[in-house]
Structure 1
Amino acid sequence: MMKTVVEDLKTLVGIPSFSGEEKTAADWMEQRLSEEEMIVKRYGNNVWTTHSGYDENRPTVLLNSHLDTVKVCNGWTFPPFACTAIGNQLFGLGINDAGASLIALFHAFLRMKSQNLAYNLVFLASAEEENSGKAGLEAVRHRLGKIDMAIVGEPTGGKVAVAEKGLLVIDALAKGVAGHAARNSGINAITVVLQDIQRIQEYCFEKTSGLLGPVSMNVTAINGGDLHNVIPDECAFVIDVRLNERYTHQEVLDELQAICSAELTARSMRLAPSGLAEGHPLWRTANALELPCFGSPTMSDQALMSWPSIKLGIGESERSHTPNEYILIEELEQGIALYDRFLNQLNHEIMG
C-alpha cells in the first residue's frame, strides 16, 4: 500500500500545478479516481467523488486538500518537480503543502469507500487554494451537495487545528493638500498616514480568543508622493488584518475607521475566521484519540467553508513555501495511519 501511496505522491509532485494552472494535475487526479472505478465529477480544475452507498439521511463528511502550489522560490538545490529521496526525506515543490496530505486523504477515502459508515464521504481535490482564488473551493462548494463537516488536509504535524484566523486586507487612502515643499505649505498626506500607522500599532482589539489570541494587524505597503518639491496630497497604504472568530470583517473595519483619518476600504470580506464547537463530533474524535488541538494563524480553504471543519495533515507548516520543501517518510506513514484512525473514530462518535 505504501508503495502505491509514494508513487502517487511522486507523480503529483512531478506535475507543475501553480495556482490557476492546475489542469494537468486535475487531469491526473480525475484519471486516478476513474482507475478506482469511482464516479468522478469535475468543475474547472476541481475534482471530486462520493463514496458508494450515499444516504441523504446520514451526515456528509468532506475530505479536502488542494492541487495547487506556490511558484518556485529562490534557493532550491533539488529539482522542485522531481520528488527527490535523500535518506528519510522526500523533497519537492508542494510536497508538504499539501501534496502529502492530499494523497493520504485520497488513499484514506479509497480504504473507507466500501465500508458501511454512519456518514457519507466526499473527496475533493481543489484548485486555487494558495492564492485564495475564486475558481477553487468557492466555485464548487454549492455543487458538492449537502456537507455537514470537513477535514482539510494541510501540514499540521498531526495536530488538529480546530480554529483558524480569517483575513481582511484593507486599502487606505489619506488625503492632504498639495503645496510647495520650500514654503512648507499644504497638508502632507504622508504625515497623516504616519499618524494613522502609529494609532494602528498602538490599538488593541478588546475581544481575544482562547485558541486564536487577539486580532493582529500590520501595515504592509505604503505609497505616496512623486516629486521632491511637492507636498503630496494623497498617500495610500495597506493593512493586513488577521481576525479571530469573535469579530466579523465589518466590525474590524468599523473599529479601525474610527481611529484612522484615512478612508478605509475592504478589498474583500470572503475569508472568514472559523472555530469548532467543543461538543462537535470532530472535536470529540480528536479528544478520543488524544490529539492536541490548537488555533491556526495560517489560512486555508477553511476560510471559505460554511460548515464545521478542522485542519489535519502531514508535515509542518513552517516548511511551506520554502526552498527544498520536504516531508519525512515516517510522517507520510504516520499520517496515513492517523487519517484511518480519525475516520474510524469519527464513525463511532457519529453513531453515538
Structure 2
Amino acid sequence: MTDPSSRETADSDATDGEEDAIRTVTERIDHEETIDLLRELVRIRSPYFEEDAISEFVFDWLDARNLDPERHPVSEPALTGFEGNNVLARLDGSDPDAPTLLLNAHMDTVKIVEAWEEDPLSGRVEDGKLYGQGACDMKGGLAGIMTAFDALADADLAGSVIFTAVVDEEGPYGLGANQLLRDGITDECDAAVVTEPGPILAQEDIENPALLLGARGRFLYDISVAGKAAHGSQPDKGVNSVADAGRLAAAFEDLAVGSHEQLGDGSVCPLQIEGGGETLSVPEACRLLVDRHVVVGETEDVVRADAERLVEDLDLGSDVEIDFREAPAPDVRYGPYVTDPDEPLVGALTSGVEAVTGEEPAIGYFSSVGDFNYFGHRADLPTVIVGPDGENIHGAGEFVYTDEVVEVARIVAGGCVSLLG
C-alpha cells in the first residue's frame, strides 16, 4: 500500500515540476520581439478577402523558425468566389493518447476605416498602446499565439498543439474557420483557445486577466415583404411594402427574447430596409434584414417561429416570407455555446494566468460571435477566449495594450504546458 505522505510528496513534486516547466516556456517569450512582430503584422493591410500578403508573412515567419507551416486552401465558389489560404502548423506530443489543443487567431481585419487621423497601418506605440486597424481585433492575439507556439516548440509536451491562423473571420461567413471544420482539422482536437480581445466585448464589465467561457450565437433574418404597387398619389389603392416593413422592424425591437444564466439576454436589431425607389409609386416589394443574437436554447426553429408569430400578430397587408441569410451550407451559422468551468482546459489556462500574473482570472462570456462559435458550437469543443484588451475595435484610433499582448502569449504557452505536459 502506498504511504499517504509519500503520495502527497509526489503530488507536490509534480506541481513544482509543472511550475518550473511553465516558467521555462514563458521566459522564452520576449516582450520586445513580440511587440516588434505585432507592429509588422499591423503594417500589413489585410481586410477580409484580401489576406494574401499577411498569410504569406505568417507562413514565412513560422518557416524561418523551422516550425513546418503549411498553407491550407480555403475556397467558397458559390456565394463569394473567395480563394485564399489559412496557415497551419503542428507540434506533435510524445503521447498519442494525450489531448490535442487548437490555438486559433484570424489574420484579417475589417475594411480600413476612413476616419483615421493618422496612418491606419502605422503600428505606432505610445503610452503602452499600439495603434492600427486590427491591432486589437485581432493582430494582438495573432502575435500572441505565434510567439507562444514558437516558445512551445522546445517544450517537452505529451499532448499536441495545432496552430491555425485563418482568413475571413471579419467577413460574412467565417470561411477560414469553416474550412477547418470541413477538412476535419477540428476532428483532431480536444479543445480550443481563441485569442480574440475578450473584456471589451464581454457581457459584463471585466478586466484582464480574463477567460471567456462562451458566447451568444447569431441569426440574420432575411425577410421578403410583398405589397401591391399603385400610383403614389393614390396610396389607398396599393399596399405599401416599405411601410409594412417599417412596422415589422419596429415590432422586432420589442420582441421577447431568451435569457441564459451565463450568456445573459438575447438581442434583436433591425439593420436595413431595402426596396421601393420608384419616383411616384407605392413600393411593391422590399427586403428587411434583422440581426438576432441568441442564447443557448434559441434554435433556428424557435427563432423562425418567433418572427412568424410577430407577423401574424401585426396582420399586415403585405405578404411576408421569413427566411435567413443565404450561407455556403445550412450548418454555416454561429450557434451559442458555454464551456464548463470544470473543463481541464479552463484549469490549465487558470494555472497559466496565475503563473504569469499572480492573479486569478476573471470569468466572462462574449456578447457577439466569431470563429469561436464554430469551435464551441459546431465542432463541440471546449473553447476558451483569452486575448489582449484595447479600445476602438473596428473603428478609427483602434489600439491594443502592448503588455497584455505579451501576457496573453505567456498565459497561452503556460496553459499549454499545464494541459499537455
Q: Secondary structure at the match of 2:163?
A: strand
Q: Which moved more, 1:78-87 or 1:178-187?
A: 178-187
Question: Is 2:372 aligned against 1:302?
Answer: yes
Deviation (angstroms), 1:347: 4.2
Deviation (angstroms), 1:28: 1.4
Deviation (angstroms), 1:201: 2.2
C-alpha distance 54-135 of structure 1, shift in aligned 2 (>3 A): farther
Contact kept in structure 2, 1:286 and 1:293, CA below 8 Å = no
Deviation (angstroms), 1:136: 1.0
- 1:312 is aligned, of 386, 391, 402, to 386
Query: Which position in structure 2 is the counterpart of 1:148?
Result: 190
Query: Which position in structure 2 is the counterpart of 1:202?
Result: 254
Question: Is 2:245 aligned against 1:193?
Answer: yes
C-alpha distance 264-96 of structure 1, shift in aligned 2 (>3 A): same
C-alpha distance 118-54 of structure 1, shift in aligned 2 (>3 A): closer
Question: Is 2:138 aligned against 1:98?
Answer: yes
Deviation (angstroms), 1:15: 1.4
Query: Which position in structure 2 is the counterpart of 1:248?
Result: 299
Deviation (angstroms), 1:218: 1.1
Q: Which runs of 5+ in 1 are unaligned?
A: none
Query: Which amino acid counterpart does residue 251 of structure 2 have in structure 1?
Result: R
Deviation (angstroms), 1:176: 2.2
CA–CA separation in structure 2 for the residues paired with 1:102 and 1:53: 22
- 1:258 is aligned, of 306, 309, 328, to 309
Within 5 Å, give how 1:1-352 maps onto structure 2.
1-44=30-73, 45-53=85-93, 55-133=95-173, 135-141=175-181, 142-144=183-185, 146-156=188-198, 157-183=208-234, 184-205=236-257, 207-227=258-278, 229-260=280-311, 262-267=320-325, 268=327, 270-285=333-348, 289=354, 290-305=360-375, 306=379, 307-316=381-390, 318-347=391-420
CA–CA separation in structure 2 for the residues paired with 1:329 and 1:107: 14
Stretches of 4+ aligned residues off by more than 4 angstroms: 286-289
Q: Provide the TM-score with structure 2 as the length reference.
A: 0.76
C-alpha distance 41-208 of structure 1, shift in aligned 2 (>3 A): same
CA–CA separation in structure 2 for the residues paired with 1:134 and 1:65: 12
Q: Secondary structure at the match of 1:136?
A: helix
Q: Secondary structure at the match of 1:320?
A: coil
Deviation (angstroms), 1:160: 1.4
Q: Secondary structure at the match of 2:32?
A: helix
C-alpha distance 347-56 of structure 1, shift in aligned 2 (>3 A): closer
Query: Which amino acid counterpart does residue 154 of structure 1 have in structure 2?
Result: E
CA–CA separation in structure 1 for the residues paired with 2:282 and 2:130: 55
* Structure having the higher Rg: 2
User: When the two structures are aligned, how many residues end up with a matched partner?
Assistant: 346
Contact kept in structure 1, 2:44 and 2:121, CA below 8 Å = yes
CA–CA separation in structure 1 for the residues paired with 2:46 and 2:94: 31
Q: Which moved more, 1:263-272 or 1:26-35?
A: 263-272
Deviation (angstroms), 1:123: 0.9
CA–CA separation in structure 1 for the residues paired with 2:45 and 2:68: 25
Q: Which moved more, 1:42-51 or 1:285-294?
A: 285-294
Deviation (angstroms), 1:122: 0.9
CA–CA separation in structure 2 for the residues paired with 1:60 and 1:199: 47
State the superposition RMSD in angstroms: 2.2
C-alpha distance 251-196 of structure 1, shift in aligned 2 (>3 A): same
Query: Which amino acid counterpart does residue 146 of structure 1 have in structure 2?
Result: E
Q: Provide the TM-score with structure 1 as the length reference.
A: 0.90
Q: Which runs of 5+ in 2 are unaligned?
A: 1-29, 74-84, 199-207, 313-319, 355-359
Deviation (angstroms), 1:67: 0.9
Deviation (angstroms), 1:286: 5.2
User: Percent identity among equivalent residues?
Assistant: 23
Deviation (angstroms), 1:118: 4.2
Contact kept in structure 1, 2:98 and 2:160, CA below 8 Å = yes
CA–CA separation in structure 2 for the residues paired with 1:303 and 1:281: 19
Q: Secondary structure at the match of 1:279?
A: coil
